[in-house]
Every structure is written in C-alpha cells, then in structure tokens.
Chains A and B, each alone.
Chain A
C-alpha cells in the first residue's frame, strides 16, 4: 500500500496541483466578489479592512504551494514523468561532446589554440623583458635570447596551415564526417527504438536515492543514448589528435639540449646564493613555457573550422530531435536542467536544493514510521514513539549513589571460600544504581520527544528557579543589586556562544543541552518576573498592608498574581528562544534530536530530510506558541484590564 502510494507520487502530485490551481482561481474570484461588496463601507486606512479575508489566505497558501511545486520541478514531474529521463539522455550526449566544444569557439568563444598562442606569447614577452642581467654573463644572455626566440618559433610553426601534417588533416576530416553522421542519425528520428526491459524495471524518478533513472525508458531517450555512446569514440579521437610540424621536431630537441646545459651550469655550485636563485628561477620559467608548447596542441585556426561547424550541426540536430522536450524543459523545469556527471544524472538549479512536496511527504512518512527494522526512524531511533522504560532507570536518575555510602557499616568483601553474600548496604547501593528489576512503565521515545523533553526540562527548571528569584529582585534592594550583575553578565552573551564551552564540559549527553537551555530560560524568567513584580501598583501594595496582610502573604497573594501576565509572556518568549537554541545545540553535539537529524542530513546533502526537519521544527514552534497563547488567554483574562 505504502509502496504503491510512493510509486505513484507523480500521479498524486498531478491531482494536487490541479486542486491547488482550482483553489487559487476560486478564492480569487470569491475575494474579488467580497471586495466589491465591502468597498463602499470602508475607507482606505480603516483597520476594519484587514479583518477576515480567509479566501485571500487560501489563495496565499495555494500560491505558495504552487511556487514550491513549480520550482522543485514537482509540476514537471507530475505531468511529464519521463521528461527527466529523456533530459538525462540528452545530457549524456552533452557530457561526451563537452571536451570537444571546450576547444572550439562554439563552446568557449575562442579556439583553445588561440588562447594558448595568446597566453604563451605574453609570457615569452615577459620572460624576455625580465632577463636578470646581473646573474648571467653577456654570452649567456645572448644564448638565452636565442633560446626564447626558438621557443617562440614553435608557436609560429604550429600556427601555419602549411605545416599541418597530412595525418592530422585526415583525422580532422574523419571527425567531421563522424559528427555529421551522428547529426544525420539524430535527424533520422526514433521510430523503431524501444527501451530495454532492464531500463523499464528501474525505480521511478525520485522514489529512491538515485534521483533520475539513468537508462533510457523512451524511444527518444534510446536514440540519444545510442548517439552519445558513438560520440564518445569521436571525442576520444579528437582528444588524441596532435599537430607536430616537422620543423618543430628539431627545434624541440635543440631547446631541450640548451636548457639541460644551463641547468648543468647552474648546478655547478660556483654562484652565490642570490645569483644562483635568479638563474634557476629564470631557466625554470623558460622551461615551463616550453613544456606547454612541445605537445602539439596548437593548431592553425582554420584547420578546426570544419569540426566547429560539425558540432554546430550536431547541436541543431540535437534540438531537432529533442522536439517538444525542449519546450517542456523551458517551461516546466526552471534552472539549469539535468546534468550527467560520471555515473548519475542530477537535477540542477532550484530543484537541486528544493525537494518536491511529494518527496518531502514521503520522507516524512519514512521518518515517522516507528518500525526501525522496516527502515523507519533515523539512525535506529524513531521520530516519535513509545518504549518500555525500566523503573530502575528512573530510580538511578533520582537517587544519588552516595546515599548508600551514608548507611552505617561496610560493603561486603568476598569470603574466604570465594563467595559473596551481599548485606543491606550492598543492596542499597544496587538500588541507588538502578541495578535491579522494578518493572517497566511506558514512556515516550524518539528524536522529536528528545528535543521537546530537553526544552520542557530546561523550561521547568528555569521557571522553578527563575520566577522566585525574579520576584525577590523586584521587591528587594539586596536581591536586585546582588544578582543583577550575575545575570546581566551572562545574559547578553548569545546562547550559541556558550554552546561550545558548555557542550565540551558536559559532553554530548542531555545534561549539557538542558543546562544551556536552562541558562536561556532562567535569564528570561528572572527578568520577566522581576519586571512583573516591580510593576505592581503602590496602591495595591498599600491596600494589602492596610488589610493586614503579612509580607509573605503580599508576595504570594498580590505580587505573584500581579506579575503573572509578565511571567507567562516570559514563558512564551523563553520557549521560543529555547527551541531555537536547542536545534543549534543538537547540531553541535548529540546523537538524537531533530537538530541532530538535520545536521546528519546536511553532511550527506539529503535535501528532502533537511526540509522535513525544518518543517517539523516550524510546526512545533508554532504549536508551542499556540499552546502558550491559549494558556495566557485562559489563566490571565484580566491582562491589560487592571
């Protein structure tokens, strides 16, 4: 069932996109109607004009979803499920031809030869101009000038069409002929082609980790795949072709000998340090240029015109053979398109980092599946599930081991017969260590629960300790002045700046993260409780004094309830900040948690999973805030009415 849903996600996407478009149009029509109805009652600027308008919210959601579908290629995949596979086959041809194109104006504006000539001539000019006259004797200088001029003549000879060997000419003609044949093949159409059974058995686009199935699954794809295979031979032929004019052969030998001679003199060790360095550097510079010119990669410009034209013809044939695919790609697949690199075809552009909505949903369900053996959860932990928690673990957590140490007497020693009979003190220690079976209770489990649990524990501690301190700081000069420096010193430091230190001290367990979040929550709770307490109206305090209340009674019955709105607002803010800090802390260190998932997903570039974690975090943050708003509405209805 799940597999069937997963395999047909493109079909569902097609239906959903249609529904979204319908919703978009319908809500706009409705909105326009309402706008006409209310236009007379409200003047511009009247705040009433912002009320209601759920239909615009609908159109907003529809727009957002459609943009997501479009730029993630979700719409493209929904209506053209084979397009990416065909684009992949075209990309195969592109991949093969790109080394040829790179040497030609069609691929890189200039012939590669032209660029080589320009670059090497420039460097020869520089080398000649910068001859260190102090380091070489006059006869040597003359010899060096002759040497560089020899090197330069390599360029001159290579550029002359007359020097192009018959063999090279023949090979170039052969390349042109083969390229033209491929063009003809592309123009011949793809009738009679049919995909192999193996190709058809591939997983569908996006259903596995391999994004786009690589074997051709359409007739058109077969055509391109075949042409690409043949073009590979042409590209190899082109790569191996060299231009070695006969005159250059002798020059190359001559230059090599001269350079060797200079090197020998340099190595004789009769120069001082600086002269030696100058001589070695100069000879090396000349040799570097020479090395680039002795491999016959410079061709006369016009000799490659034929290949350039044939490639242009192949491009035209490619566009012809692509037919409607070109238009579909331009409209429905924004970005760079499909690129083939080594063993796989990948989506490039927005679709690369923006996963399709259906894939995100599929990833979410996979993550939310509590069946770990069945591939659910993440790294062996479910997203949100329950487990049997041994009561002994709780006992271990809450009872410190030194309780057993306090019991009078000594721990058992092994007897002379090599046996041990535990006494009460031993049993007490076992109990404190949680080293016994006390049954199990069901408890929540999973990445999501771990994250929420950390926030809740930290918030609980922050409220429990921060609110009383804040209230006392709001009413007492001593408390205010004594604790103010402490809190104001650590609070302005961004929580994430504390993270590395605290996580290093506490390690990757929950303690460090909870402590970090506690620091955040504590400061916010202290400040909000303090503000609330110090904002109590003097007349209320005086009234309660007059009514015979003691200081403690005033604290509990007047100052605390009076500060409640501020305290709850503080809780609302603190939960938000804690949530933000937690994710960052989990990214820094940890083995569970929603931030942990995102961090691991990042390292393997699993964009679907990254987006799933982002959406989960957003939803949970929103949920926290809604709960707090509800709590505030229910518990302090007098807020702002005192």
Chain B
C-alpha cells in the first residue's frame, strides 16, 4: 500500500522581479514500490532537490500530485523522514535528545523513547554516545545521528538529500554500506539524491538520470549493484565490468547535458 506515486508533477518558479518563469520540473511520472531504493542523479539545476522537497512536503507542486500510500502529500509529515547534507542537527541538544526529538514532539512515553533511542544508536554504531554534545562529533558520526533521528520515527519513506556529500572518501564508503544495511534490515523505501555517479550506481536499485531545462527524468535504469552490495564488499562491486560500463555511459550522458547547457548559456 505504501507506494509513492507521482502523477504529472509540474513545478514552476516565477522570479518576482523579472517575471521570468523557470520550469524546475515538468511532467514527472513515476511509481515507487514499497521497499525500493531509488537514487536520483543529474547535473546541477535539473530539479533533483526540488523533486525531493515536493515529496517531503516543503513545497507544493504547481500542478499534479504526489501521494504516498494513497494519501496526497500536502505538507511535511512523520511518515516521510528526511536526511540533509549537513546533518541539520540541533547543536544545543546531546545526541540522544536529537534522536528522540520526533518522539518528544508527539509526547511518547519517555521509557519507551529511551528504548527506541538506544536501539537505533546501536544500529547506526553510536552506542554510548547518547550524552555527547553533537558539535563534538565528526561529520560521519553526525550523519549517523541524523539517520537515527529519522529512523526512530519509523517512517514509510526516507528522503536523503546528498547525505554523504560532505564526507571524506573513506567515511563515505562506510556510510554507503550502512545505508545498504539499513535498507535491507528495515525494508524502507528510500530515495537518495547524489552528485556522485558511483554512489548512485552502488545505492540505486532503481536510478533516475534527470536532465535540466525543463527538469525531467531523462533515463531510468534498474540495477543489480545494490543487491550485490549487501553480500559483497563495495570495492568488489566497483571493480565489476558491468558497473564500469554503466558508469561510463551515465558520465557521458551527464557530460553531454552539461555541454549543452554551457552551449546554450
């Protein structure tokens, strides 16, 4: 039941000074089954983040609808968790208070909250960090807190806006494994937006390559690498021949788009 359905989504921004209209998204149609892992890739300005903000409910589409489990999205909600590029943690609260923020807002029983928080801190590998101030954590640890804060509310859909973009290469790989593990263990539907082709291939069961002006889905892939990443190490997956072929193909595609933008601009 918890399918994400986007029907004829259009999003246009009007510049209040010049009156110029930018079509950030045009005629977006797709359906995401429960438990699918979708990664979205594209050159800058193709509307990836706009798409995510629409699904999260931070923006309302100009026309068309997005619905989750049959309910039309018209605002932010607990059933759609969001993870931002920079953790967006509340630095005045310690780790545990950050994680149980959502629970506290709906006045969950504190004993139950504590249990949940401990469970999720355990899962993301932060056991014992409950009382640590967040500003003392490294970037990777902060993203783990953000993941736990999102997952503790048991959302149907997890939206990730370049969640690993600000991390160093090594931490990033560990976090990619963590995301795959969480996906497998929880069976959540996940949309992940990324700049990195490699990350999109590794984490995407399905992959949208988006194109700009107007923002649209240019090509869709169904990929096996996410499944393989659960049993093999990510480095092995990356050395696969097919992986490299698809990567080159997508890179060329995005390269051409960028060229086109530059030419037109």
Contact = CB atoms under 8 A, between A and B. Distances in A.
B135 A641 contact: yes
B144 interface: no
B84 interface: yes
A342 to B, nearest CB: 70
A255 interface: no
Contact of A549 (B57, B105, B150): B105
B70 to A, nearest CB: 20
Q: Which of A545, A546, A641, A642 has the most CB atoms of chain B within a 10 A radius of its CB?
A: A546
Instruction: Give the interface SS of chain A, mostly helix, strand, loop or mixed.
Output: helix
Contact of B91 (A550, A553, A638): A638
Contacts of B76: 542, 545-546
Interface in B140-171: 146, 149-150, 153
A79 B71 CA distance: 94
A477 to B, nearest CB: 14
Interface in A518-544: 537, 539-540, 542-544
Contacts of A549: 101-102, 105
Interface stretch (A242-250, A273-281, A556-564, A573-581): A556-564
Given A546-B81, A547-B105, A636 B92 contact: yes
B102 A548 contact: yes
Interface in B83-97: 84-86, 88, 90-93
Contacts of B78: 546-548
B134 to A, nearest CB: 8
B137 to A, nearest CB: 11
A542 B84 contact: yes
Given A542-B56, A544-B101, A537 B88 contact: yes
A637 interface: yes
Which one of A545, A548, A549, A642 has the greatest number of beta carbons of chain B within 10 Å?
A548
B73 to A, nearest CB: 12
Interface string B174-215: 000000000000000000000000000000000000000000
Nearest to A554: B105
Given A545-B76, A561-B92, A638 B84 contact: no
B68 interface: no
Contacts of B105: 544, 547-550, 553, 557
B13 interface: no
A548 B92 contact: no
Interface in B40-88: 56-58, 75-78, 80-82, 84-86, 88
B133 interface: yes
A149 B70 CA distance: 125
B106 interface: yes
A548 B78 CA distance: 5
B133 A543 contact: no
A276 B152 CA distance: 110
With most chain A CB atoms within 10 A of its CB, the pick from B76, B85, B150 is B76
Contacts of B93: 561
B28 to A, nearest CB: 21
A539 B150 CA distance: 14
Interface in A621-642: 636-638, 641-642
Nearest to B92: A561
A561 B106 contact: no
A211 B91 CA distance: 63
Given A540-B90, A550-B105, A558-B90, 10 more contacts: A537-B88, A539-B85, A542-B88, A543-B88, A543-B146, A547-B102, A561-B92, A641-B91, A641-B135, A642-B91
Interface of A: 537, 539-540, 542-550, 553, 557-558, 561-562, 564, 636-638, 641-642
Interface of B: 56-58, 75-78, 80-82, 84-86, 88, 90-93, 101-102, 105-106, 133-135, 146, 149-150, 153
12 contacts: A539-B84, A539-B88, A542-B58, A544-B90, A546-B76, A547-B150, A549-B105, A553-B105, A557-B101, A561-B93, A562-B92, A636-B92
Please list the 5 inter-chain residue pairs (A to B) with the smallest Cβ-Cβ separation, ordered nearest first. Answer: A547-B102, A641-B135, A539-B88, A545-B76, A548-B78
